[in-house]
């Protein structure tokens, strides 16, 4: 084969819609992924090499090869990323997303987050904003939903602190005011919450129905999703097909789908369904056949070209990923007999969707069952909601129906079970889907035994991640990122101690942060929970943690020390009696993992002076800086006594107290003390395995 012929064949392959689509997708995902070196140097080239060695030409392998080649190129291109803007100026652009207290703003060359209480902006508004642009500073928490990551996936890496906002053009149709007027016709909060979520994709996490669905990892069934809209259109297909032929049915249903535009405008899933329907309708009218994989790829490519950041949306990846996966594996599934095929199709579906049933480091095995139960129940409620929005609201019917849905959610919640599976991060997710692709590629080229090895290794890896026996020989001190608060976890083999819980008034920090952390670390109980003092940012999670997790002992007083469990021995140095919470905060020392640790809670300079007087020989290697780096703690005399080599500051990013104070940072730097901060690093781990394998991060 000549060189020109090879080039011609390569162009033909790349020109195929599904290959072109996967190339675009691979480039963007590679460019935006976080584990450059690992995947660029190790994972992707291995798969690419295997596919080249065996000269794959089948459709499925062409797609896999194209994706991973593009992903590898994207990784290389993504390493030298541009920095977020940081300057004063005037910015003109359009609003691309609005919520109750913020909007996202596109100036043409950059995207910004703008905080505005009671925001009434709407998509399409053209504004001029004067103010200071700076990199995003948003508080994050250990294992909790990261709003910062959410914004980054939308291409927003900067924020503007606006001094003035001038409207240059305001979109005439103000959907938000219409939505609010409709929701306010219902006086029942459960009905309001369900309708807001299903019709307008606005979720109130203080609403019981939304909270229950979220805890069961079933919130996708209470969302304006492509799944819901697709189910509605399938019902309409069936209904109109009873009277009309295929062409008329396709036209009528597509026309009706356009009435859902106000509800789905913000959702990639809506556009995926609508564009796919439009292509299918054109094909029916022209009597042309386009295979589903090609249609899916055309829709995906179009949405990508309209807005490349669509490809970082979970709805986009799940919707298109599942469609392509089912098409590529159709040859495998077709080998089974007809009576087995439905079960096999369901198995393949679950194989792809399995990671979606994992939430906060726990697998919800009943999640697939929720789909069978909830979708048929949600569908009529949603359709009644749409009908109410378009005409007179069925207030009493929807209120009664929402009470029934709440009863179902409570029942399912009581049956829900969460299996801890260890840390389930983006890297694990990538390896899972990489292994899946490799498994089917090897089977297609006849290497069945090798593909079986891949599946066995996957099962063993999962079993090891769950197994708490891995904790044997493991020692840890972890400063958890709980925002503006304190929380320290100490582990010696299977013995566990936690000092403080952090606290938050907007969500349950025990359920949302601490328990998911325990699942990740394969911890099933706490031997001791120690509370340094009763400020909310130190003890706000105690009650919920007691109700939802096994705690053997809770300690609050100086008189309870010393405490010894395994190799963990905690000594208290503040005898208290000052009469003020911060002054009376427990100050604890620990000699562990070859280091001396000092945890000072919110102890003040007054307390430090008393400790200097009573314990003049006190020393430490690692200091947990007092009161989140406030200038009310960490005196020069105290630092000169204890002589730490490292200082950890537990603090929330962009906190209103402006912690840590510059004077405290200056004192630490003047003494060459290494400074570590949870607002900059996230949770800070000190780990020792079997006493000699140490990993500090």
pLDDT in tens, 323-365: 778 877 777 777 777 778 788 888 888 888 888 888 888 888 8
Band (pLDDT 50/70/90 cuts) for residue 71 is low
672-691: b (≥16 Cβ within 10 Å) or e: ebebbbbbeebbbbbbbeee
- For 375, residues 6+ apart whose C-beta sits below 8 A from its C-beta are 221, 227, 231
Pairing of strands 684-689, 474-479: antiparallel
pLDDT in tens, 494-510: 999 999 999 988 889 99
Mean pLDDT calculated for residue range 236-260: 89
Q: At what angle do helices 395-415 and 208-215 cross, to 10 degrees?
A: 30
The pair of structure tokens assigned to 444 is: 């297609």
Strand runs labelled E in 500-649? 528-530, 554-555, 563-565, 568-572, 588-592, 595-599, 622-624, 646-649
Does residue 7 have a pLDDT over 80? no
Angle CA(141)–CA(678)–CA(507) in degrees, nearest 5?
Answer: 20
Angle CA(143)–CA(149)–CA(152) in degrees, nearest 5?
Answer: 175
Lowest mean pLDDT among 30-34, 195-199, 415-419, 616-620: 30-34
Q: Which residue has the higher pLDDT, 419 or 544?
A: 544
pLDDT in tens, 111-140: 899 999 888 898 889 999 999 999 888 888
Does residue 51 have a pLDDT over 80? no
The distance in angstroms from the start CA to the end CA of the chain is: 53
Q: Which residue has the tokens 């179009």?
A: 302
Predicted local confidence at residue 313, as pLDDT: 77
The tally of CA atoms less than 13 A away on the side-chain side of residue 675 is 19
Contact at 8 Å (CB) between 651 and 678? yes
Residue 402's Cα: distance from chain center in Å?
28
Rg of the chain taking only CA atoms, in angstroms: 28
- For 115, residues 6+ apart whose C-beta sits below 8 A from its C-beta are 101, 102, 159, 161
The count of other CB atoms within 10 Å of the CB of residue 357 is 18
Q: At what angle do helices 314-328 and 338-353 cross, to 10 degrees?
A: 150
pLDDT in tens, 684-695: 999 988 766 565
Kind and range of the H or E element at 676? strand 674-677
3-class secondary-structure state, position 643:
coil
Residue 595: closest CA among 502, 525, 674 = 674
- DSSP one-letter string for 234-262: HHHHHHHHTTS-HHHHHHHHHHHHGGGHH
Mean pLDDT calculated for residue range 180-190: 89
Lowest mean pLDDT among 261-270, 601-610, 650-659: 261-270
Pairing of strands 646-649, 622-624: parallel
DSSP state at residue 361: T
Residue 476's Cα: distance from chain center in Å?
25
Strand runs labelled E in 138-183? 156-169
Band (pLDDT 50/70/90 cuts) for residue 620 is very high
Band (pLDDT 50/70/90 cuts) for residue 37 is very low
């Amino acid at each position: 084969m000549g060189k020109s012929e090879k080039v011609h064949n390569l162009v033909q392959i790349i020109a195929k819609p599904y290959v072109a689509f996967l190339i675009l997708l691979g480039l963007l995902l590679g460019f935006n992924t976080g584990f450059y070196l690992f995947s660029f140097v190790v994972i992707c080239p291995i798969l690419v090499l295997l596919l080249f060695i065996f000269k794959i030409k089948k459709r499925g392998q062409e797609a896999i090869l194209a994706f991973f080649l593009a992903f590898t190129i994207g990784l290389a291109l993504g390493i030298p990323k541009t920095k977020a803007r940081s300057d004063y100026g005037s910015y003109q652009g359009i609003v691309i997303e609005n919520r109750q207290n913020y909007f996202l703003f596109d100036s043409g060359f950059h995207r910004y987050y703008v905080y505005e209480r009671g925001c009434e902006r709407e998509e399409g508004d053209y504004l001029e904003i004067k103010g200071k642009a700076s990199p995003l500073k948003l508080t994050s928490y250990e294992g909790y939903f990261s709003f910062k990551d959410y914004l980054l996936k939308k291409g927003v890496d900067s924020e503007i602190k606006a001094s003035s906002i001038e409207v240059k053009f305001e979109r005439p149709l103000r959907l938000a005011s219409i939505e609010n007027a409709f929701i306010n016709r219902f006086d029942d909060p459960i009905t309001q919450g369900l309708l807001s979520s299903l019709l307008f994709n606005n979720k109130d996490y203080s609403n019981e129905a939304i909270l229950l669905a979220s805890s069961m990892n079933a919130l996708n069934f209470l969302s304006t999703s492509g799944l819901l809209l697709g189910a509605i259109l399938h019902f309409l297909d069936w209904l109109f097909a009873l009277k009309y032929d295929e062409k008329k049915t396709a036209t009528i249903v597509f026309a009706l789908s356009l009435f859902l535009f106000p509800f789905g405008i913000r959702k990639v899933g809506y556009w995926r369904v609508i564009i796919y329907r439009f292509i299918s309708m054109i094909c029916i009218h022209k009597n042309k056949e386009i295979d589903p994989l090609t249609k899916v790829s055309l829709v995906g490519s179009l949405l990508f070209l309209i807005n490349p950041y669509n490809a970082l949306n979970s709805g986009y990846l799940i919707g298109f990923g599942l469609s392509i996966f089912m098409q590529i594996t159709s040859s495998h599934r077709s080998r089974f007999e007809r009576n087995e095929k439905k079960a096999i199709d369901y198995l393949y579906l679950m194989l792809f969707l399995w990671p979606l049933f994992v939430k906060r480091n726990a697998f919800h095995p009943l999640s697939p069952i929720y789909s069978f139960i909830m979708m048929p129940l949600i569908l009529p409620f949603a359709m009644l909601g749409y009908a109410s929005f378009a005409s007179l609201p069925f207030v009493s019917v929807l209120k009664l129906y929402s009470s029934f849905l709440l009863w179902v959610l409570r029942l399912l919640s009581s049956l829900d079970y969460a299996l801890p599976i260890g840390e389930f991060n983006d890297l694990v997710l990538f390896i899972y889907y990489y292994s899946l692709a490799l498994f089917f590629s090897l089977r297609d080229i006849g290497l069945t035994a090798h593909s079986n090895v891949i599946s066995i290794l996957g099962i063993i890896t999962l079993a090891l991640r769950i197994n708490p026996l891995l904790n044997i020989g493991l020692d840890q001190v972890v400063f958890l990122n709980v925002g503006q608060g304190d929380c320290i976890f100490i582990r010696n083999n299977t013995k566990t101690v936690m000092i403080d819980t952090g606290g938050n008034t907007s969500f349950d920090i025990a359920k949302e942060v601490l328990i998911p952390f325990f699942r990740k670390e394969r911890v099933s109980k706490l031997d001791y929970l120690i509370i340094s003092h009763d400020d909310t940012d130190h003890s706000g999670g105690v009650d919920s943690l007691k109700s939802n997790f096994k705690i053997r002992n809770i300690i609050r007083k100086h008189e309870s020390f010393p405490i010894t469990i395994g190799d963990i021995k905690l000594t208290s140095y503040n005898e208290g009696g000052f009469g003020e919470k911060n002054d009376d905060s427990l100050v604890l020392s620990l000699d562990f993992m070859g280091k001396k640790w000092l945890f000072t809670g919110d102890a003040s300079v007054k307390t430090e002076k008393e400790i200097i007087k009573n314990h003049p020989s006190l020393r430490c290697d690692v200091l947990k800086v007092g009161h989140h780096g406030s200038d009310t703690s960490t005196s020069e005399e105290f630092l000169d006594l204890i002589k730490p080599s490292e200082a950890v500051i537990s603090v929330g990013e962009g906190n209103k107290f402006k912690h840590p104070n510059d004077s405290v940072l200056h004192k630490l730097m003047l003494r060459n003390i290494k400074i570590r901060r949870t607002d900059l690093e996230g949770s800070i781990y000190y780990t020792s395995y079997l006493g000699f394998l140490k990993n500090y991060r």
